[in-house]
Structure 1
Amino acid sequence: MGSYAHPEMVVTTDWLADHLEDPSIRIIEVSSLGELTYPDGHIPGAVHWPWRESLWDQKMREFVLPSDFAQSLSRSGVSPETTIIFYSDRCQFGTYALWTCLLRGHTHVKVLDGSRTRWVQDGLPMTTEVPRITPGNYPIRAPNETWRISRDGVLAGLGNPDRVILDGRTPEEYKGLRVKPEPGFDHGAERKGHIPGAKHLFYDELVNEDETWRPVEELRKAYEARGATPDKDIVTYCRLSHRATFLWFTAYFLLGYPRVRSYDGSWTEWGSMVGMPIENPSLS
């Protein structure tokens, strides 16, 4: 069995259980449901980051500004030397936080393989105690846009044989039957469908039932089946880019693909922009 290209980017539940008292790390739970999971139980020592409030700017559709992110890291007791271990109640929110962290210049980051799901399944300790954190003084860092692509960049590359666009949403979203995953009110964009030429790779195909990543051979096979090979320029997207970052992380860090970027505007932007081309198989 092969190994991941960058296994150091992922930690196991056993490793984290042995490092709960390690002062060089900071564990951060990125909640997809706001306040609904963290108070009921979290990994001991974990700081709580509700995803939208922590990772987005509060006034405009943009990621948290470098100055605000530095303040957030400071409040969380993170220094430039601290290694952050991200996890969530849904695995894609951990990679989303990691991607945002790299965007804002903090590179000492890892994700917990299996996230909260595997931790609970393994019967490892949970607590309702909120840790007391000594605030730091994290410096503002220059953004790093290496792994980000805008709508204009995606649009300009349509039809380019060197590029493969991967859509990480559910089959229903990709086929143009829904804008968001079931259940609930269907909302998030003005139009249904997918970006022209995009190949469907539902992020759920990359994980086991406990949300740990599948073996590297299975991951590689899934990407290659969509024409996404190491020589291609890979763009990932979904609805809000959480699942997109999961595809990005898998391709870049686990498979070692050199050219992978996430389109963070994703379908909520593309499907609502005037004049953007769309493919909708449900209308054929």
Structure 2
Amino acid sequence: MKILTLLLPLAIGLTSCSIALGQIAVISPPEAKALMQSVDPAQRPVVLDSRGGYKDYFRVHLPTAHHINFDTLRGTDRGIPVQYLPDDLTKLLLVRAGVDKDRTHLIYATGEVLPNDEILSASMVAYVLEKFGVKSIRILDGGLAEWQTRNLPTTQEYFGNPLGSLPADMNTAISIDLDELLRTKDRPDVVLVDARPHNEYIGEDDIWVRKGHIPGAISFHWARLMEDDNTHKFRSFASVQDQLKAAGLTGDKQIIVYCGTSREGSLLRFYLAHVAKFPNVRLYEGSWKEYASLKQYPAETTANSAAICTP
């Protein structure tokens, strides 16, 4: 009995480590807590608070959380706002945040009620890490709100990660640029999907320089994949599978996702690729803010027939 008692913490630590490597997925708060308390410090995750509001981080955050404001990864390029930074600058920012090829990365945000959409900051940071070759990423299911609901520990203490080390190879196959999108979007095996709210998809908004969507795109608002009472909490694939299928979003298709600036698209892509496990899902990073600025390309405001799955 004494030997069993001594070995139990080690067994718990090994169990925590066993879910830590080589996977991109959603993780529950209790699983995340266990991972953060792994016996081997090297197996504990790099915890990244992706919120845009630094004062929110100051008020409360997860223990050992390093603040990486999602919008530091983007900036204006050739007049187009919120474009992803050049790779060399992004690498510097990720290394400074402690992103490491040999570690698991736990990403979270808060603001669980629409119109707050901070979950999109978590999925956007996860996308950037995946694109830069990181293979072990978790998004905290339910975000900070669910963590606090379960009375799990929080802090106001700052935490600075040591410098990280990125993988040698990037995973650029998960992205697509405008030229390739225009060449492939009308193929019968390709589905182009707009992740924005339906009113923006049909051009009933005051946001964009041009109204509507990329011709041929269907509409599937990202929020349909999240729980009503907490937009940081993912619905099960079984509960949304019929809606996805009705929209033409199935695992046998090549799916190209976009939105306004790529954050909403990053959430939809994360779900399709890592919850639904669809094998071929790519994000058009430029999204509507780039496409709409290029007035030589047409736009449409009429919903396509598959765009029936709207909020």
Cα contact 1:67–1:140 (8 A) shared by 2: no
Counterparts of 1:54-133 in structure 2 under 5 Å?
55-56=73-74, 62-89=83-110, 90-133=118-161
Cα distance between partner residues in 2 of 1:76 and 1:103: 16
- CA deviation string 1:188-225 (max 9, x = no partner): x3101111121111111101122311121123222111
Question: 1:252 Cα deviation (Å)?
Answer: 1.1
Q: Which residue of 2 aligns with 1:20?
A: 36
Distance 1:222 1:155, change over 3 A: same
Counterparts of 1:170-189 in structure 2 under 5 Å?
170-178=197-205, 186-187=206-207, 189=208
Q: Which residue of 2 aligns with 1:207?
A: 226
| TM norm structure 2 | 0.78
Coordinate RMSD, CA, aligned: 2.3
Counterparts of 1:218-257 in structure 2 under 5 Å?
218-257=239-278
Question: 1:166 Cα deviation (Å)?
Answer: 1.3
Cα distance between partner residues in 1 of 2:133 and 2:85: 12
Cα distance between partner residues in 2 of 1:15 and 1:148: 30
Question: 1:57 Cα deviation (Å)?
Answer: 5.8
Q: How many residues align?
A: 266
| TM norm structure 1 | 0.85
Distance 1:58 1:136, change over 3 A: farther
Percent identity over the alignment is: 26
Cα distance between partner residues in 2 of 1:139 and 1:196: 37
Q: Which residue of 2 aligns with 1:275?
A: 296
3-state SS of the aligned residue for 1:236?
A: strand
Select the structure of larger CA radius of gyration.
Answer: 2
More helix as a share of residues: 2
3-state SS of the aligned residue for 1:111?
A: strand
Cα distance between partner residues in 2 of 1:58 and 1:79: 27
- CA deviation string 1:84-124 (max 9, x = no partner): 11112222221111111111122222211122232233332
Structure 2: stretches of 5+ with no match in the other structure: 1-21, 111-117, 304-311
Cα contact 1:176–1:192 (8 A) shared by 2: yes
Distance 1:45 1:137, change over 3 A: closer
Cα distance between partner residues in 2 of 1:64 and 1:274: 23
Question: 1:241 Cα deviation (Å)?
Answer: 0.8
Counterparts of 1:257-272 in structure 2 under 5 Å?
257-272=278-293
Distance 1:233 1:125, change over 3 A: same
Question: 1:158 Cα deviation (Å)?
Answer: 3.6
Cα distance between partner residues in 1 of 2:253 and 2:259: 19
* Matched letter for residue 26 of structure 1: V
